[in-house]
Structure 1
Amino acid sequence: MWEWWIHHTKSGSPELPVPVSAASWTRRLGSKGDATHTIPVPGSGIPKSLIRELATGNTYTLAQRWGTFVASAGVIQGRRFVEASGLLTLRQKELRAALLGQRLPHGVGGYGPNGVSLTITGRSHSGAVRAIVDKAVQGNTTIGWDLPIDYPPDGAGGFSAVWRMEEGLTIEDMLTQMEEDGAEIDFAPYITPTGYLRWEVRVASRIQVGVPFLLAARAPGTIVADLETDEDFVRQRSGLLGFGGGSGQDRKWAWAGGGIAGMPVRDERISFPDITTQPRLQAAVDADYESRLTPTNQWKLTLFIGGTGPEIAEPGRVLDMHVFGSAFIEDGSHKQRVIAARGDASLMVTPEVQEVTGG
């Protein structure tokens, strides 16, 4: 069943379980979700001085947990107390959105217009993200910068970059460039055996966790409710012409295309102003084009988690949806990967899913 804990953001230490009367949370692949939780303060048994401390923004994080599985972990960003009702509402954002992504790769006093923020040479996507995260937390050795983050594996590969201080890039800018290069990045919260909250950094071309969960979508007693499918053709393109940083005839450019059978030409010009090297620009254009070849096939559904827990809707989980007898949906197995999940304090969770293509 659901429980709610406040953790210290920097250390992840479990501080106190709290009662919650209302909740709304979204956990999103990429770690940019948000949440609100309402605590009825009168009768909670929590002293005023303690609840005021534990509701301090940025210093503390609220985790909505089912056993040791964390459905949502949000750094507190705001609080509102209504005297008449005694209700304290905490507003939160996931770690990357609230804190990590906003950081500069150096202290504000460490800027130099001729300096280099970070150099990456011949690393895999995972290795490059590892270097970025290490820069974001200053190796977890500098007081104030440290966070309970598990680095992704290092590895050799084809990614290289030199980010100069004059560019004024944030950690978020660097992570976004990695995503433009074809990587998916997620900061997945979890609870250690000693009850501490940590974040595992996951990096892959397509993040997938666990094993596919079989769902009989139309069978009697199914846990699936409110099933809809929504295919969006707006992003489809027959070709892309991409421009990088620079100006005039020296500006880098790359293209990807080939057309889509039966579709009229629908090319587009796109820009990656922060990318200044040809190989990285080509990789970004190729990745963008690949994502536009098929329509976005969005399934909408709600899951009853009373017998399974919310882990089946974890971002990155594949739901193996078996549908038979629908008036529109083709019979058979339809694999859908969870890219986000939202819920409240009930036993219903709504995953946001996208069709798994290419195996």
Structure 2
Amino acid sequence: MHDQKTGEPIARVHVTGDAPFSSNLDGTGQSSITIVVNDADEPWTPEQVDAMFASNARMLVRWWGEHGGAHPDDFPMVAHKIESDDYDRDKGTVTVTAIDVNDFADWRLIDGVGADKNSTLTITNRSPAAAVSATYARMMQWNPDWYLPIDLLPDEAGSFSGSWVFWKGVLISDVLKEIKDRTGVEVYLEPYATSTGGVRFTQRVGAPINTGGVHINIDADENPIAGVHYRRDGVNQVTGVEGIGQGSGEDQQRRSSGGTIIIPIRDTRKTFPDMTGDPLQEAVDTYYGAHIDPAVQWDIGSFTIGDGWTPDMCVPGRVFLLEVHGDPRIPDGVHAVRVVAVSGGNGRQLKPEVQ
């Protein structure tokens, strides 16, 4: 257990059962643990449970390493904000549920409650990464009660600009979504161990996020993956996109994107209800560019930790460089597939989701 504001460790807890967890680039990761609280030798008190698993004030961190966690040389697989605890009186257990720390962005306006209605967040000519970082800075800037252990990125010039005013009820997550829609970037808060055994978060921003490659010869006897499937899917392939923006009826803002025709015409519409002008065009172009070609989808049943294959090789943003030769369906060569999500439990086997 770690403090949510500082990321510093509070205590280790001993769990029973599988203790499932997941981590996703889209910020929907979650985890849970179950602990026994009616042990005859060391029973818990209601006050201890309340303090240890305080909703929104504690983090559940899943560590991997030789030091039992909360150590700079161990690896935090996930660090999630505790949301709830459920006591089963018959079993004498408490099940704690935690979710991605980015959930705070759904619960913070661009200023504090009761702020001047004209308070405005303005970002001018910044890179997508700098725009994201400015948004997180806004989320934490007001006083210590707003603080979270999120590192900010260096400022960087670019072409992104936007302005959001408080009276419209804009959430931090609304701003992040607009940045992602207009620029095509992904945003992920990646946990890392500090020198004191605490946890902080690095902002990963990319189109797409890529934190380095891991070469795997899938025909080798010593390789960590199993259950490989390969699929080509054209369900979302398009030749053109008509983007529909703010407004109604004939007055609705519209922008289009197209021009690459490699199949019979397959056009579609996409709605961006809050956008107009250049931001709308950026969003339409981004969507079109991502769906010109059919998607090649790999599925990997498992990644097993051990024999030089470490858990940090199978986290969101990592790229598996899969070497294949002589396969009847998969072309020869090295195929790059990116981990976008991973799940697991108490064992050495992880389940990656790749693209």
Normalised by the size of structure 1, how large is the TM-score? 0.89
* C-alpha separation in 1, matches of 2:83 and 2:195: 27
* C-alpha separation in 1, matches of 2:268 and 2:77: 38
Matching of residues 1-359 of structure 1 within 5 Å: 6-21=1-16, 22-43=18-39, 45=42, 47-48=44-45, 49-67=47-65, 68-97=74-103, 99-112=104-117, 115-137=118-140, 139=141, 142-181=143-182, 182-209=184-211, 211-247=212-248, 251-261=252-262, 263-276=263-276, 278-301=277-300, 302-307=302-307, 308-354=309-355
Equivalent residue of 1:14, what SS? coil
Contact 2:37 2:44 in 1 (8 A): no
Contact 1:80 1:89 in 2 (8 A): yes
* C-alpha separation in 1, matches of 2:323 and 2:4: 41
Contact 1:159 1:280 in 2 (8 A): no
Shift in CA distance, 61/203, structure 1 to aligned 2, threshold 3 Å: same
Q: Which amino acid in 2 is paired with 1:34?
A: Q
Contact 2:181 2:286 in 1 (8 A): yes
* C-alpha separation in 1, matches of 2:22 and 2:268: 32
Shift in CA distance, 159/249, structure 1 to aligned 2, threshold 3 Å: farther
Shift of 1:222: 2.2
Shift of 1:178: 0.8
Shift of 1:111: 5.0
Shift in CA distance, 254/92, structure 1 to aligned 2, threshold 3 Å: same
* C-alpha separation in 2, matches of 1:149 and 1:306: 30
Q: Which amino acid in 2 is paired with 1:118?
A: L
Shift of 1:252: 3.1
Q: Which amino acid in 2 is paired with 1:119?
A: T
Q: What is residue 3 of structure 1 aligned with on the other side?
A: none
Contact 1:259 1:265 in 2 (8 A): no
- Give RMSD over aligned pairs: 1.9
Equivalent residue of 2:146, what SS? coil
Q: What is residue 357 of structure 1 aligned with on the other side?
A: none
Q: Which amino acid in 2 is paired with 1:38?
A: T
Q: Which amino acid in 2 is paired with 1:268?
A: T
Shift in CA distance, 351/58, structure 1 to aligned 2, threshold 3 Å: same
Normalised by the size of structure 2, how large is the TM-score? 0.90
Shift in CA distance, 30/117, structure 1 to aligned 2, threshold 3 Å: farther
* C-alpha separation in 2, matches of 1:349 and 1:294: 30
Q: Which amino acid in 2 is paired with 1:298?
A: Q
Shift of 1:333: 1.0
Q: Which amino acid in 1 is paired with 2:207?
A: S
Contact 2:61 2:76 in 1 (8 A): yes
Shift of 1:37: 1.6
Shift of 1:317: 0.7
Q: For residues 225-284 of structure 1, what are the alpha-carbon distances to aligned partners after superposition, in whole Å with 9 as ceiling and x for unaligned? A: 1111233321111100112223456543221112441x22111111212223x2222111
Equivalent residue of 1:149, what SS? coil
Equivalent residue of 2:205, what SS? strand
* C-alpha separation in 2, matches of 1:264 and 1:201: 41
Equivalent residue of 1:172, what SS? helix
Give structure 1 stretches of 5+ with no counterpart: 1-5, 355-359
* C-alpha separation in 2, matches of 1:52 and 1:306: 37
Shift of 1:161: 0.9
Shift of 1:146: 0.9
More off after superposition, 221-230 vs 332-341: 221-230
Contact 1:66 1:309 in 2 (8 A): no
Shift of 1:286: 1.0
Shift of 1:42: 4.3
Shift of 1:45: 4.4
Q: How many residues align?
A: 341
Contact 1:152 1:202 in 2 (8 A): no
Contact 1:25 1:34 in 2 (8 A): yes
More off after superposition, 247-256 vs 117-126: 247-256
Give structure 2 stretches of 5+ with no counterpart: 66-73
Equivalent residue of 2:200, what SS? strand
Contact 2:80 2:101 in 1 (8 A): yes
* C-alpha separation in 1, matches of 2:256 and 2:59: 44
* C-alpha separation in 2, matches of 1:133 and 1:91: 25
* C-alpha separation in 2, matches of 1:330 and 1:18: 48
Contact 1:66 1:310 in 2 (8 A): yes
Contact 1:239 1:257 in 2 (8 A): yes
